[in-house]
Amino acid sequence: MSTPQRDAPTQPAPAQSPAPSPVASAPSAALPLAEPQRRQQTTRFPALGGLTGAIFVLGIVVVLAGCSSPRGAGGGGGSSVIACDAQSPCPSGYVCVGAVCQWDGDVTSNQDSVAGADSGVVDGGAVDTGVADAGPADAGVLDGGPPDTGVVDSGPLDGGTTDTGISDTGAFDSGPPDAGGSTVTIQSIQSGNDSLQCASPNGEKLTFEAVQLQDAVVTADVGPLSKTVEAFYVRPLADPPFNGQYGGLKIVRFGGGKPIAVGDIVRLTGDVVEYYCETELKVEDAEVTILGSAAQPGPIDVTVSQIAFDSPGGEPWEGVLVRLQNVVVAVANELGTDGKTHGQFSVSAQGGTDRVVVGGTSETTFTKQDPDSGDLITTMVKGQIFSTLIGHLSYSFGQYVLRPRADTDLQP
């Protein structure tokens, strides 16, 4: 079966000039008025004969007729125009533009020209890649100029004295207090790392050498520790900070001789040591200067749990004169780490379980020797009540011990 063929579109035949007569003669009345000019052109070739000249003229007419094709409508010339619409489409190779058939090559060329407008200056020209994108406005003074790297960012204010000056690396951090010859306070000694961390649990460790302690007031004279050694306690002349914590220190004096009394204001020079985890200032008698006297300092009120023998919070109260109120004897004779009694008893808050161990001094009389064992025992009775119990907190044989200054510090 043959494939159906679409009918070829019809179009008017182009106008044809009448063929000239075989013999040159006068113009015929049926020819266009312009034809005589063409005939005159043939007379420019005198060498041509009658028939030959006629054939030459006929060739020119044929060529001119070929140039009058519909494509000439787009390129000028005297050719005819082919109309078109939905019912009368253009022939193959033509397109309908504005109801007139135009050669497809002309339309494509025109569209190429229009497409050129799409890829012209607006799309890829100076507007898209000009100064606004990469010019001085984007990389100018505001981005990399002096305002970003000026004096404020890298000048003296950032690396000046305030950042690396004396306040940051002063004497207290790395200076003389550790090497000797400087003034210290009771608080700075007792709150130091060596004191807080029990620097020498099995001996003595020197922590500060040849330091000077000024304006300290004596809170107790413990008495002789041996023939040439005695001890006393001091606190700051001014009210100690932190409600009395880190506000007391035990002084061990070598050489004896010079009397010390409660209330004396003293200046002391010596070495700070950790003696089996108890902080002490060791001084020679010649380095003790009495500056005057003050009213007898009073104790700081504390609770049983704060200074219990095994309390982790007892360290701030070491060396401080403290007072317990309304306590009861829990154990009349406490045993030491060696399983023996050493003249110590313990008290607790009524109904409480925490215990404070209490030990005697040379000025107390609540201890005596057991006639059977020879060990020291106390005269206390379990359940005995004290309205007040005053003493300095010390550290001995791995526990805190409260040591009254005299029998008057135990009030029923």
State how far the Cα of 17 lies from the Cα of 21, in Å rounded to an integer: 12
pTM of the model: 0.57
Task: Judge contact between 262 and 227, C-beta under 8 A.
Answer: no
Same structural domain for residues 252 and 191?
yes
For tokens 């003229």, the residue is: 57
Same structural domain for residues 324 and 394?
yes
More confident residue, 407 or 29: 407
More confident residue, 275 or 95: 275
Of 272, 293, 314, the residue at which a domain comes to its end is 293
Domain of residue 344 covers 300-411
pLDDT at 112: 42
Task: Judge contact between 330 and 348, C-beta under 8 A.
Answer: yes
Q: Of the spans 197-211, 233-247, 259-273, which averages the highest pLDDT?
A: 259-273
The total of structural domains in the chain comes to: 2
Quick check: is 202 in a domain?
Answer: yes
Which range has the worst mean pLDDT, 147-161, 245-259, 275-289, 378-392? 147-161
Same structural domain for residues 348 and 365?
yes
Same structural domain for residues 181 and 283?
yes
Of 259, 293, 327, the residue at which a domain comes to its end is 293
Of 247, 267, 293, the residue at which a domain comes to its end is 293
Q: Where are the alpha helices (DSSP H) in 69-147?
A: 72-75, 104-118, 121-124, 126-129, 131-134, 136-139, 141-144
Confidence of residue 59 (pLDDT cuts 50, 70, 90): very low
Q: Of the spans 31-40, 145-154, 195-204, which averages the highest pLDDT?
A: 195-204
User: In the structure encoding, which two tokens stand for residue 133, read together?
Assistant: 């994108």
Same structural domain for residues 323 and 364?
yes
Quick check: is 336 in a domain?
Answer: yes
DSSP 134: H
Confidence of residue 210 (pLDDT cuts 50, 70, 90): very high
Quick check: is 43 in a domain?
Answer: no
Would the pLDDT of 257 be above 80?
Answer: no
Which range has the worst mean pLDDT, 4-8, 150-154, 224-228? 4-8
Quick check: is 18 in a domain?
Answer: no
pLDDT at 307: 97
Would the pLDDT of 313 be above 80?
Answer: yes
Same structural domain for residues 310 and 253?
no
Same structural domain for residues 247 and 348?
no
Quick check: is 187 in a domain?
Answer: yes
Would the pLDDT of 211 be above 50?
Answer: yes
Quick check: is 357 in a domain?
Answer: yes
- Looking at residue 87, its amino acid is Q
Would the pLDDT of 8 be above 60?
Answer: no
pLDDT at 271: 97
Q: Tell me which residue of 216, 358, 394, 220 sits closest to 290, measured CA to CA.
A: 216
- DSSP assignment string, 209-276: EEEEEEEEEEEEEEEESSSSEEEEEEEESSPPSGGGTT--EEEEEES--S---TTEEEEEEEEEEEET
Which range has the worst mean pLDDT, 86-95, 108-117, 386-395? 108-117
Same structural domain for residues 396 and 316?
yes
pLDDT at 155: 46
Instruction: Read off the CATH number of the domain in which 185 is found.
Output: 2.40.50.140
State how far the Cα of 85 lies from the Cα of 62, in Å rounded to an integer: 31
Instruction: Read off the CATH number of the domain in which 378 is found.
Output: 2.40.50
Burial string for 26-51 (b: 16+ CB within 10 Å, else e) reads: eeeeeeeeebeebbeebeeeeebeee
For tokens 């790392």, the residue is: 193
Same structural domain for residues 307 and 275?
no
pLDDT at 86: 80
| Average pLDDT rounded to a whole number, residues 272-291 | 95
Same structural domain for residues 183 and 289?
yes
Which range has the worst mean pLDDT, 85-89, 127-131, 218-222, 258-262? 127-131
| Average pLDDT rounded to a whole number, residues 221-235 | 91
Confidence of residue 333 (pLDDT cuts 50, 70, 90): very high
Q: Which residues pair with 391 in a beta bridge?
A: 322
pLDDT at 243: 85
Would the pLDDT of 82 be above 60?
Answer: yes
| Average pLDDT rounded to a whole number, residues 61-74 | 38
Same structural domain for residues 289 and 308?
no
What are the residues whose beta carbons fall under 8 Å from the beta carbon of 138, sequence distance 6 or more?
A: 132
Among residues of the chain, what percentage have pLDDT more than 90? 46
Would the pLDDT of 66 be above 70?
Answer: no
- DSSP assignment string, 317-370: GBT-EEEEEEEEEEESS-B-TTSSBBSEEEEEETT----EEEE--TT--SEEE-
pLDDT at 163: 38
pLDDT at 199: 62
Confidence of residue 150 (pLDDT cuts 50, 70, 90): very low
| Average pLDDT rounded to a whole number, residues 54-58 | 39
Mean pLDDT of the chain: 73
Helix (H) or strand (E) holding 63: helix 50-66
Taking CA atoms, 367 is separated from 51, 96, 345, 408, in Å, by 171, 133, 10, 15
A 10 A CB-CB count for 1 gives 3
Helix (H) or strand (E) holding 58: helix 50-66
Same structural domain for residues 265 and 361?
no
pLDDT at 181: 59
Would the pLDDT of 125 be above 80?
Answer: no
| Average pLDDT rounded to a whole number, residues 303-309 | 97
pLDDT at 106: 52
Quick check: is 39 in a domain?
Answer: no
State how far the Cα of 40 lies from the Cα of 20, in Å rounded to an integer: 13
Would the pLDDT of 303 be above 80?
Answer: yes
More confident residue, 129 or 209: 209
Crossing angle between the packed helical segments 35-42 and 50-66, to the nearest 10 degrees: 130
Task: Judge contact between 314 and 224, C-beta under 8 A.
Answer: no
Which range has the worst mean pLDDT, 41-45, 150-154, 258-262, 392-396? 41-45
| Average pLDDT rounded to a whole number, residues 87-100 | 82
Phi, psi values for residue 91, rounded to 5°: -70, 170
Quick check: is 382 in a domain?
Answer: yes
Which range has the worst mean pLDDT, 78-82, 110-114, 143-147, 277-281? 110-114
